[in-house]
Chains A and B, each alone.
Chain A
Amino acid sequence: MIETIRIGHLLRETAATPYRNLITRPTGAAVRDRIEAALAESDCVTALLDFSDIELLDFSCADEVVAKLLLADPDRTGRVLVLQGLREDQHEAIEQVLIHHGLAVVAVASGHGDAMPQLIGWVTADARSAFGCLCESGPLRSFQLAWALDWSDSRSRDALGALLAHRLVRAEGELYFPITIA
């Protein structure tokens, strides 16, 4: 199940402002609190944070909202976080912040459920290649990924393990699934 959380809606509720600028740490922390409250009441597997109503996102809010959500007890729920509707400058702000923390998240384009997901943040080059391969091919076992990329099986397992640790893919038994919202 996917729970869509419209960040612009939460911002308007939190800051009581007609503007769509998600800026300053206190505002980011307040919006994060709202997101956490919404997720606490949800049994969703995937939380889709929709930024399409946001005009400006500064580094402080990228850190307070996205990085701190990812840092908050990652194993507690096993929930996957996906970002949607990011503009180029917002994408860059989040990417810089996540690289600083050694974190990564999946992003999808707004209104394009079938568009290729993107990785934002820090992952190894192998993990990034594995993610791209899974998105193009669909669910794969480790040895299938190794064949597809002409890797050793251990290299494939390491890359998938890294993606799984960051909750950038899903695993069911030996099969690894790309994150989809379609």
Chain B
Amino acid sequence: MTKVIEIPAHLDDRSFEQFTAGFGEWPPEGKLLFDARGAQWASPYGLIGMLTAGQALAEARQERPLFAVPNSTDVKSYWSRIGFFRYAAELFELHGKVPKSSASGPSDALLDVTPVRAMEDVHEAVNRISDTAARILRAELGLERTATGRFSMALSEACQNIVEHAGTGGWVAAQTYTFRRRLGRRVAVIAVSDAGIGFRRSLESTHAKRFGERWGDGAALEAALIQNVSRFRDPGRGQGFRQIKPFLDKWEGKISIRSGTARLAIVPAWDEDVPLSEHLPFFPGAQVQITIPAHEAEPR
């Protein structure tokens, strides 16, 4: 029997939990159908989250899942332009007509969906984003030049986490769009996701003992994001997220990390997210989202 995983009409970091709830126990038994026919929009986080699910199923040697592509021509075209279908075709059996990315025109994304498997891929992602990010971030978000440099630094550190900790590959994408509901301003978003071992397993051998019974996905995220620990003994390690934080503070940015069954966020004043969510449906690896809002002009 085929189990249907419904893709929310608007798939972002919040509705992602509806998506993950669809899997039940992990790895899910039997054939899966990812039904995106009703999809109207997906954030970079949503897009690479779907690829991560496909990757994790492949690595768990599950049956190749089906993927019903969106009915909307615009949505299909956008997903094609940003490179989603190029990688989805390797992980899913696609059902429905997919426009060729060349026929969909150039992408307007800060960074198209890009696989991250080795340090060379981190260089590739940062080099690609550097070419366009400065112009877009200045023009659309009013960010100064130094902010665009820090945006690329954040991207670099988040991607390096995949290579160093995940034990498998992952994905990165970045885009600007308008956050109408929560903020009413444009934002730049970096999404990074992997299908790897997650924060709990990565840190378990070196840090679980200290937390005792509290140890779990939430405690592991807290250790990494708040206490800046690393599994490496090198005292310079584990600082990547810590050093992103001052940049986020300055620009009212937000970072959220989901791993396993927990999600931890540093929440700016404009958002109503909860800092820590635990007991979520399990999802493999780790998913990071960094959100930088447009600079608000000083009131006169």
CA distance A87 to B134 in the complex (A): 15
CA distance A15 to B119 in the complex (A): 11
Q: Smallest CB-CB separation from B163: which chain A residue? A: A24
A67 interface contact, C-beta 8 A: yes
B152 interface contact, C-beta 8 A: yes
Interchain nearest-CB distance for A176 vs B (Å): 30
CA distance A56 to B145 in the complex (A): 12
A58 interface contact, C-beta 8 A: yes
Picked from B146, B150, B156, B246, the residue with its CB within 8 Å of the CB of A23 is B156
B123 interface contact, C-beta 8 A: yes
Picked from B130, B156, B160, the residue with its CB within 8 Å of the CB of A19 is B130
List, in ascending order, chain B residues with CB within 8 A of A50's CB. Answer: none
Count chain B residues whose beta carbon lies closer than 8 angstroms to a beta carbon of A.
Answer: 22
Binding stretch for chain B, among A34-42, A94-102, A125-133, A150-158: A94-102
List, in ascending order, chain A residues with CB within 8 A of B236's CB. Answer: 63-64, 67-68, 97, 100-101
Residues 96 to 132 of chain A near chain B (Cβ within 8 Å): 96-97, 100-101
Q: Contact at B123–A17, with CB atoms within 8 Å? A: yes
Interchain nearest-CB distance for B123 vs A (Å): 6
CA distance A24 to B126 in the complex (A): 10
List, in ascending order, chain B residues with CB within 8 A of A97's CB. Answer: 236, 239, 243
The contact size tier of chain A is 20 to 34
Q: Contact at B243–A21, with CB atoms within 8 Å? A: no
Q: Contact at B149–A89, with CB atoms within 8 Å? A: yes
List, in ascending order, chain A residues with CB within 8 A of B39's CB. Answer: none
Picked from A17, A26, A60, the residue with its CB within 8 Å of the CB of B156 is A60
Q: Smallest CB-CB separation from A15: which chain B residue? A: B123
Picked from A15, A17, A68, A88, the residue with its CB within 8 Å of the CB of B146 is A88
List, in ascending order, chain A residues with CB within 8 A of B239's CB. Answer: 59, 63, 96-97, 100
A27 interface contact, C-beta 8 A: yes
Q: Contact at B119–A58, with CB atoms within 8 Å? A: no
Residues 4 to 50 of chain A near chain B (Cβ within 8 Å): 15, 17, 19, 21, 23-27
Decide if the interface of chain B is mainly helix, strand, loop or mixed.
helix
Q: Contact at A24–B240, with CB atoms within 8 Å? A: no
B222 interface contact, C-beta 8 A: no
Interchain nearest-CB distance for A149 vs B (Å): 30
Q: Contact at A56–B243, with CB atoms within 8 Å? A: no
B157 interface contact, C-beta 8 A: yes
List, in ascending order, chain B residues with CB within 8 A of A23's CB. Answer: 122-123, 126, 153, 156
Q: Contact at A21–B123, with CB atoms within 8 Å? A: yes
Interchain nearest-CB distance for B189 vs A (Å): 19
CA distance A83 to B238 in the complex (A): 25
A164 interface contact, C-beta 8 A: no
Q: Smallest CB-CB separation from A24: which chain B residue? A: B119
A181 interface contact, C-beta 8 A: no
B277 interface contact, C-beta 8 A: no
Residues 228 to 248 of chain B near chain A (Cβ within 8 Å): 235-236, 239-240, 242-243, 246
CA distance A59 to B160 in the complex (A): 11
CA distance A55 to B150 in the complex (A): 11
Q: Contact at A19–B127, with CB atoms within 8 Å? A: yes
Q: Contact at B130–A25, with CB atoms within 8 Å? A: no
A93 interface contact, C-beta 8 A: yes
B: residues with CB less than 8 A from A are: 119, 122-123, 126-127, 130, 146, 149-150, 152-153, 156-157, 160, 164, 235-236, 239-240, 242-243, 246
Known: A23-B122, A23-B153. 10 other contacts (CB 8 A): A21-B123, A24-B122, A25-B119, A27-B123, A55-B149, A56-B156, A59-B239, A60-B240, A100-B236, A100-B239
Leading 5 A-B pairs by shortest Cβ distance: A89-B149, A63-B236, A58-B156, A59-B243, A89-B146
